[in-house]
A and B are shown apart, each in its own frame.
Chain A
Amino acid sequence: MTSISPAPDLSWTRKLSRPEDLAAYRNQLIAEQHPDATRILVCCGTGCKALGALHLLAAMKQAVADANLDVKVAPLVKRTGCHSFCSRGPMLAIQPQDIFYQKLKPSDAAEIVQETIIGGKLIPRFLYKPPGAKQPIEKRSEIPFFAAQTRVVLERVGQIDPFDIRDAIAWGAYSGLAKVLTEMQPKEVIEEMKISKLRGRGGAGFPAGLKWESCARQPGRHYVICNGDEGDPGAFMDASLMEGDPHAVLEGMAIAAYAIGSDRGFLYVRMEYPLAVQTLSNAIRQAEDLGLLGQNILGTGFNFKVSVSTGAGAFVCGESSALMSSLEGKVGRPRPKYIRSTEKGFRDSPSNLNNVETYANVPKIILNGGAWYASMGTERSSGTKVFSLTGNVNNVGLIEVPMGTSLRHIVYDIGGGIPNRKELKAVQTGGPSGGCIPIPKKFLDINVGFGKLAEIGSIMGSGGMIVMDENTCMVEVSRYFIHFLVEESCGQCTPCREGLTQMEDILTRITRGEGRDGDIELLEEIGNFTNSFSLCGLGTSAANPVLSTIRYFREEYEEHIRDRKCKAGVCKALYHLEILPDVCTGCGVCKKRCPAKAVTGEKKEPHLIHQELCIKCMECYRNCKFDAIAIR
């Protein structure tokens, strides 16, 4: 395959040496783009890339070239970042016709060009059809998944080519930085941030303006650090932002640097995000070529150099002090210090560390004003939040909603509900540090925000949201998260290292059917202890998955221990499968599917599972069309 969308060489371009030059350059770029031109935006985010989006992109380019179109302006096939509807990839959008095609193959390219681009006809089989609906939705903007979102941070993601700074500038990148450099004093920038009430998007929710202010107040050389070490299982918000719109992050960092008086920044990105490292490194080079980063930015005398630093795969390096240790080249372990990093952080200098999404919000706040930002969301949690919606939900993907949106809206309107007629059981938020919120009971209408989620024993965290249906065993879920944290604990402090190990042992025992009386109380005792005695943020929130599941699903733990039953059908030692004779039609699907040959029965007669042969692979359960197989 030929190399696709190589980054354009901009080193020949004239440096933008005055703030006015940026606006002029932007106008020039917009004028160059023909307003009538058809733009074919191919999603090349990590998810779609894994499904072969680059092949699709190459095929589309080839098809457009082969078609020899007789039009004024040739359609532009563009590589973009994540379109966020990840369960439907590979996909593309055609603008301005507002068409959305999904689940494509490279071989479909010629047909799309012939039928849609030339013929102007829609191809129904590529259109999105909501689960249960008969008719596909023709317009992209009418698809509930897109229509129900408010995209502020993600505005440019999926619209621009992340490898071409000109595209980003045409969409307004760096105009916030230019505004700050020409019109605002550092103090005013901080003031604007405080008005916006933007709270850190990494999880703790510390007001960004206050953090900047306390950092700016410290003497000495200042550093600006961006935390791109997103490691929660099932979270990919920061990845998509860095891959789809690297300039938003860089611009936010540059504005922060101006506000706190820094000239050096670092982006700490995990090595498992190779595409993000690539887009960011490329974006930095192009921005430096244009004089938007580096020495004497836009001729104003403001210097800001950024470099990308990659992590070595430790989850704990997402913790701020561990991240700074790692950045210094030391072992990535949290530092036992009670001094804030805004005072003594990286290289013992005042350092301002924010999350990727926090920085990406900054240019919008500068351009539209803090009051505009604060008007979105709720009183205590302003603005919008990006969530990665995963698990047992129809529309898996990246969503952005105003703070305070209800879980019902997220799961049902945007997420499209639960697949396979299953019941919604819980929503896990905040990754391994978060908790499980039981849904049918009372919390479906809870508004997602920092305070509300903490009240009910979970956290918003960085924005991972895992939807769980009735076939999820909460004991197994907490065992999974504790196991993850045992592996990822740095091992320095006793509560986290030893406490979590003991909790994992107990939970493993329970899922194997060897639970004992008093295990739940013991889990609570150790959990409360690790949460209050540990050294860093990882330890002090590590027991949340266990404590929240015990709080809301205690009866499930009790069933595991007392009755030796796992109703969800997950813990293999604690259930068996039975065929209900009055429901079974004897169709024979289960018999054919069973890899262990444990099902017997004549055609049109109720079948039988031989327990001694059954390996509980659930193949029969999943494939029975009549729900005749029961977990007992």
Chain B
Amino acid sequence: MKIIMDGKEVAAEYGQTIIEVARKNGIYIPTLCHVPGLEPAAMCRICTVELTEHRRTRLVTSCNYPLRQDAEIQTDTPRLRGGRKLIIELLATRCPDRQVLKELGERYGADLHRFPADDKDCIMCGLCARVCERVGANVLTLSGRGVEITVSTFMGRVATHCIGCGACAIICPVNAIRIEDHDGYRSVILKGKEASRIPLRSCTSCGRPFGPVIDLAPVLERAGEPGVPAFHTSVCPSCSRRNHAKRILERHFEPYDTAIQAFVDEGRRF
């Protein structure tokens, strides 16, 4: 399989996507809705490249196009630059003044205020929904159709089966999702509105909240592990560490009270 990318021959395995090959060879292709490890959705279309197979040239998205035969790929032509510019300008109507669009806009000479803005706080990349599915919680999903498509919980209700992992907040390229802990609860704030709420468990030792109360079964199933003990404890990680240290000291260094105290203090620093 002979793959030529931007005029230079590159190594590629059968079935690899264009973007994997490009990244490995240091060729830049912009993406907004692609994260390695998640199933590609090809929604933003900004990673579109020109592909020539059997002397037939067409536009394909690099995030999900599997290379299976000889191909020549152009990743940065005037036509692609024009299309990417328009994608950025169109997405800017949903989300003006976001860093990620500003940076891309500068690169492709896009006028972020070309079309009238209609701030929807979201560029509809679908990453949050896909990562939520991948984690196993299935709280966020894409609902509605056409212009009205939106990231939402089931029926727009405040979800209680969220595990509060925060993957959606971390993955969102326009920071439309926040995680907030308050009054013993953790909330996922989606576009300024509470999307899910889960109680936090308090440490039985120090009383501080240290993590959400969740049903871990789906997560553990995904992780393929029988159980992670730390999730089942009732004390927070720092108290757990301190207690552990205390037990070791009591067993091995019983006579030395002062030494115990020093170790305990040491443990508290973590």
Judge whether A489 is part of the interface by a CB distance below 8 angstroms: yes
Q: Are the CB atoms of A533 and B66 closer together than 8 Å?
A: no
Of all chain A residues, which has the CB nearest B116?
A505
Residues of chain B within 8 A of A493, CB atoms compared = 42-45
Question: In the complex, A488→B45 CA distance in Å?
Answer: 19
Residues of chain B within 8 A of A525, CB atoms compared = 86
Residues of chain B within 8 A of A534, CB atoms compared = 45
Q: Are the CB atoms of B86 and A529 closer together than 8 Å?
A: yes
Q: Are the CB atoms of B64 and A337 closer together than 8 Å?
A: yes
Interface string of A331-370 (1 = CB under 8 A from B): 1000011110000000000000000000000000000000
Cross-interface CB contact of B45 among A316, A487, A495, cutoff 8 Å: A495
Q: Beyond A336-B61, A529-B82, is A495–B40 a contact (Cβ under 8 Å)? A: no
Residues of chain B within 8 A of A338, CB atoms compared = 60, 64-66
Q: Are the CB atoms of B41 and A494 closer together than 8 Å?
A: no
Judge whether A492 is part of the interface by a CB distance below 8 angstroms: yes
Judge whether A295 is part of the interface by a CB distance below 8 angstroms: no
Of all chain B residues, which has the CB nearest A532?
B59
Q: Are the CB atoms of B87 and A497 closer together than 8 Å?
A: no
Question: In the complex, A497→B126 CA distance in Å?
Answer: 14
Residues of chain B within 8 A of A95, CB atoms compared = none
Residues of chain A within 8 A of B93, CB atoms compared = 498, 502
B111 to chain A, nearest CB (A): 12
Q: Are the CB atoms of B146 and A532 closer together than 8 Å?
A: no
Q: Are the CB atoms of A486 and B147 closer together than 8 Å?
A: yes
Judge whether A535 is part of the interface by a CB distance below 8 angstroms: yes
Judge whether B7 is part of the interface by a CB distance below 8 angstroms: no
Judge whether B246 is part of the interface by a CB distance below 8 angstroms: no
Q: Are the CB atoms of A494 and B64 closer together than 8 Å?
A: no
Interface string of B61-104 (1 = CB under 8 A from A): 10011100000000000010011001100110110000000000
Q: Are the CB atoms of A490 and B146 closer together than 8 Å?
A: yes
Q: Are the CB atoms of B90 and A336 closer together than 8 Å?
A: no
Residues of chain A within 8 A of B41, CB atoms compared = 336, 492
Of all chain B residues, which has the CB nearest A505?
B116
Of all chain A residues, which has the CB nearest B84?
A533
Total A-B pairs in contact (CB under 8 Å)?
A: 88
Judge whether A526 is part of the interface by a CB distance below 8 angstroms: yes
Interface string of B233-268 (1 = CB under 8 A from A): 000000000000000000000000000000000000
Q: Are the CB atoms of A494 and B43 closer together than 8 Å?
A: yes
Question: In the complex, A515→B75 CA distance in Å?
Answer: 36
Residues of chain A within 8 A of B64, CB atoms compared = 336-338
Count contacts on A: residues with CB < 8 A to the other chain.
30
Question: In the complex, A351→B17 CA distance in Å?
Answer: 24
Question: In the complex, A52→B254 CA distance in Å?
Answer: 99
Interface string of A104-142 (1 = CB under 8 A from B): 000000000000000000000000000000000000000
Judge whether A463 is part of the interface by a CB distance below 8 angstroms: no
Q: Are the CB atoms of A494 and B145 closer together than 8 Å?
A: no
Q: Are the CB atoms of A487 and B146 closer together than 8 Å?
A: yes
Q: Are the CB atoms of A491 and B149 closer together than 8 Å?
A: yes
Q: Are the CB atoms of B45 and A535 closer together than 8 Å?
A: yes
Judge whether A499 is part of the interface by a CB distance below 8 angstroms: yes
Q: Are the CB atoms of A491 and B147 closer together than 8 Å?
A: yes
Judge whether A599 is part of the interface by a CB distance below 8 angstroms: no
Judge whether B183 is part of the interface by a CB distance below 8 angstroms: no
Q: Are the CB atoms of B43 and A526 closer together than 8 Å?
A: no
Interface string of B132-155 (1 = CB under 8 A from A): 000000000010111111000000
Residues of chain A within 8 A of B66, CB atoms compared = 338-339
Q: Are the CB atoms of B43 and A492 closer together than 8 Å?
A: yes
Judge whether A58 is part of the interface by a CB distance below 8 angstroms: no
Q: Are the CB atoms of B146 and A491 closer together than 8 Å?
A: yes
Residue of B93, B115, B144 with most chain A CB atoms under a 10 A cut-off: B115
Question: In the complex, A525→B83 CA distance in Å?
Answer: 9
Residues of chain B within 8 A of A336, CB atoms compared = 40-43, 61, 64
Residues of chain A within 8 A of B83, CB atoms compared = 529, 532-533
Residues of chain A within 8 A of B146, CB atoms compared = 486-491, 497
Of all chain A residues, which has the CB nearest B87?
A494
Question: In the complex, A573→B83 CA distance in Å?
Answer: 34
Judge whether B196 is part of the interface by a CB distance below 8 angstroms: no
Judge whether B168 is part of the interface by a CB distance below 8 angstroms: no
Of all chain B residues, which has the CB nearest A338?
B65
Interface string of A519-540 (1 = CB under 8 A from B): 0000001100100111100000
Judge whether A314 is part of the interface by a CB distance below 8 angstroms: yes
Residues of chain A within 8 A of B87, CB atoms compared = 494-495, 533
Judge whether A501 is part of the interface by a CB distance below 8 angstroms: yes
Interface string of B149-166 (1 = CB under 8 A from A): 100000000000000000
Of all chain B residues, which has the CB nearest A506?
B115
Q: Beyond A498-B91, A533-B48, A535-B43, is A490–B149 a contact (Cβ under 8 Å)? A: yes
Residues of chain B within 8 A of A487, CB atoms compared = 146
Judge whether B172 is part of the interface by a CB distance below 8 angstroms: no
Judge whether B179 is part of the interface by a CB distance below 8 angstroms: no
Judge whether B124 is part of the interface by a CB distance below 8 angstroms: yes
Residues of chain B within 8 A of A532, CB atoms compared = 59, 79, 83
Interface string of B29-49 (1 = CB under 8 A from A): 000000000001111111010
Question: In the complex, A494→B40 CA distance in Å?
Answer: 15
Question: In the complex, A447→B192 CA distance in Å?
Answer: 57
Cross-interface CB contact of B115 among A314, A331, A337, A502, cutoff 8 Å: A502
Of all chain B residues, which has the CB nearest A525?
B86
Question: In the complex, A331→B87 CA distance in Å?
Answer: 25
Of all chain B residues, which has the CB nearest A530?
B86
Residues of chain A within 8 A of B45, CB atoms compared = 493-495, 533-535
Q: Are the CB atoms of B149 and A494 closer together than 8 Å?
A: no
Question: In the complex, A525→B115 CA distance in Å?
Answer: 13
Question: In the complex, A494→B88 CA distance in Å?
Answer: 9
Q: Are the CB atoms of B149 and A492 closer together than 8 Å?
A: yes
A-B contact pairs, 27 of them (CB 8 A): A331-B142, A336-B41, A336-B61, A338-B65, A486-B147, A487-B146, A488-B145, A489-B145, A489-B147, A490-B149, A491-B144, A491-B146, A491-B148, A491-B149, A492-B41, A493-B43, A494-B43, A494-B44, A494-B45, A495-B87, A497-B147, A498-B93, A502-B90, A502-B115, A529-B82, A533-B45, A533-B83
Since A336-B42, A339-B66, A489-B147 are in contact, a sample of 7 more A-B pairs with Cβ atoms closer than 8 Å, ordered by chain A residue number, is A336-B43, A486-B147, A491-B147, A494-B43, A495-B86, A498-B93, A535-B45
Top-10 shortest CB links A-B: A491-B149, A336-B42, A498-B90, A489-B146, A491-B146, A533-B45, A529-B86, A533-B83, A492-B43, A338-B65
